[in-house]
Amino acid sequence: MAKQVHIRVDDDIYKELSDYSVVSGQSMQDCLSVAIRQMLVKAKEEPSQDCNGYTFIDLFAGIGGMRLAFESAGGCCVYSNEWNKYSQQTYYANFGVQPDGDITKVQAESIPDHDILVAGFPCQPFSIAGVSKKNSLGRATGFEDKTQGTLFFDVCRILKAKRPKAFMLENVKNLCSHDKGRTFQIIQESLRELNYKVFFQIIDGKGYVPQHRERIVIVGFDKERYGENVSFSFDLHPLKKQPVVRDILEKEVSEKYTLSDKLWIYLQNYAAKHREAGNGFGYGIAPLDGVTRTISARYYKDGSEILIEQRGKNPRRLTPRECARLQGFPDSFKIPVSDTQAYRQFGNSVVVPLMSDVAKLIVAKLEQLDTDPQIEIAFSNIPQRKVI
């Protein structure tokens, strides 16, 4: 629940604040909120301590699912970036850190050195036309030509500038088939052009939570440091007992989550219409002893993809806490935003225990590589390049 605070500022500060509001595209209220959060973070900052684990940065951080995953693997986050103000609010409430804003305006060189780059980057269309034209003319194209104008380009330019030991990227399963596979082809080419050994796999989160959620995970290791012969396997260890929907349900749920008669009738009619047309569109009643469909950022609209049956009344949608559990967030995770924003945030997030498992595999591989005397000797003989 937002509170109102009235403040007075001098004319010169008001002018600067007004100008900055226009440049940043944010309201003056949002600018002040960010400034106050940053001031509070600064005020309670502890003296910097040596990190015993690998350092990582959290790009397109959302509400911090990836951060939880890599911290569980012993990692230390040294930088986070997320543009959405509501996600920033949730991130701050849980980690005491105000993520940096628009990644496209961040100089790569200003980002702290780190061992692992972590990013759940959004998938945007890549322009194939310019690349095809250059190829027809016999001209070489680089990742800057192929990915400019997409947020994946920002991942590439940070990899180029900071040269972390490894990276982990996450995206929707359909990334592989987007634009007849050409988008994913460009992504692989760009990462390999940066001299990283790339591995990827589509993984379903249902072995860790009661939700069918397939995502592609892309992992890479620096060939300039570790050489060409790096191997990596997604040797995951899901739970021995399959989690089921009833495991995540709250015992007492407010009536506000029960569907209204009007909405429930609409959903039933909508499903019937599509059944007659021969397709499977419609609402989904989650089996209590099974797994749900994939929760999405649109869950706030009507909750139709995951409904819980109720005896003697209309079904209900999941509560925000149940959505958090469905993604594997601990109950200690704070939800400071409205239900609408919470549904969007958890729908956009990751299955935390699955990503924790992958994070541990990456850390274990780095520990193996970094203690290999042959790699250490080879790396020490390579002239360290200067990034311009």
Please tell me the distance from the alpha carbon of residue 45 to that of residue 97, in angstroms, as a whole number. 10
Please tell me the distance from the alpha carbon of residue 144 to that of residue 6, in angstroms, as a whole number. 46
Q: Label the pairing between strands 196-204 and 166-172.
A: unpaired
Q: What are the phi and psi torsion angles at 121 (to 5°)? A: -70, 145
- CA gyration radius for the chain? 23
CA angle 45, 48, 54 (to 5 degrees): 120
Q: With CA atoms as reference, report the closest residue to 74 among 94, 52, 59.
A: 52
Please tell me the distance from the alpha carbon of residue 96 to that of residue 84, in angstroms, as a whole number. 16
* Contact residues for 282 (Cβ-Cβ < 8 A; gap 6+): 267, 270, 271, 272, 274, 275, 304
* Contact residues for 232 (Cβ-Cβ < 8 A; gap 6+): 197, 199, 219, 221, 361, 365
Helix (H) / strand (E) containing 214: strand 214-222
> Cβ(295)–Cβ(320) under 8 Å?
no
- Residue position matching structure tokens 């993604």: 327
Distance in Å from the first CA to the final CA of the chain? 47
**Helix locations, 137-241, DSSP H:** 143-147, 151-162, 182-193, 223-226
Q: For residue 176, indicate whether it is catalytic.
A: no
Q: Which of 31, 76, 123, 176 is catalytic?
A: 123
The residues carrying an active-site annotation are 123
